[in-house]
Amino acid sequence: MRKKILDQPIDILSLDEAAYLIKSALINPKQFKIITLNPEMIINALDNFEFQSALNNAELIVPDGTGIVWALKLKGYNNALRIPGIELAEKALASANELSKKVAIFGGKKDILEKAVNVLSNIYPRINFVKTIDGYQENEDVIAEEIAKENPNLILIALGTPKQEVWINKHSKKFPNSIIIGIGGSLDVWSGKKQRAPEWVRNLHLEWFYRVVNEPARLPRVLRSLPRFIYMILREKVNSL
């Protein structure tokens, strides 16, 4: 069910429903671009035409941020649920493994990527990782062509937002039968470099705060976007009364 927050598209569904759509796209190959959205990304889209275009062209946009779910519920969509991007990516990998599909990964540091792929290969032994390329490359057009030659069923892009979403949108025509999802820092978690917040912290909807505490460099980004997001959501609510 597609809705809008601050004129930005967002889909309301459960993790299992999103996983079903991904599995269907693996069984019946088609292009399926996925964005996992948080408040910072919405604010970015307001000022970034390329990112706005990526949002408009995505087939699935899920709420990967407590702030997004809060904003949806404030608009009366009480069935809105958070879908963490890393969990959605793992659902996609599980389906790719079940169906013995081909997967490509682009992004991250070389050593982190190698460790992550090694871990994923053990968890999902039936996946064929046909192309893995670290994110420190100069010619993105060449990288896109290299990935396209392998005709992967699932492509994970770990370039960070908004770069990964813009990359996906720019090169999507090269992947008419691929599921493509931006995975942010998931490689760091899969490689063991970083840990996700404990489950009790996630249940309190404070995973974002846990990440800021453990990665203080994130704080300026949060302070630039979150207060503006909250203000704009509340202003929109007041104006609708």
Beta strand 102-107 pairing with 154-158: parallel
Phi, psi dihedral angles at 106 (to 5 degrees): -130, 120
Q: What does the pLDDT look like over 68-98, one tens digit per residue?
A: 999 999 999 999 999 999 999 999 999 999 9
Model confidence band, residue 99 (pLDDT cutoffs 50, 70, 90)? very high
Whole-number pLDDT of residue 84:
96
Supply angle C-alpha 20, 92, 188, rounded to 5: 145
Q: What is the pLDDT of residues 6-20, one digit of tens each?
A: 999 999 999 999 999
Both tokens of 179, joined, read 């599921």
pTM assigned to the model: 0.94
**The pair of three-digit structure tokens given for residue 199, joined into one six-digit string:** 């489950």
Output the CA torsion sign for 19, 22, 27, 28: positive
d(CA 89, CA 156): 8
Q: Where are the domains of the chain?
A: 2-195
CATH of 2-195, one of 3.30.420, 3.40.50, 2.30.29, 1.10.3210: 3.40.50
Q: What is the pLDDT of residues 136-181, one digit of tens each?
A: 998 989 999 999 999 999 999 999 999 999 999 999 999 999 999 9
pLDDT tens digits for 37-57? Answer: 999 999 999 989 999 999 999
The whole-angstrom separation of Cα 91 and Cα 32 is 15
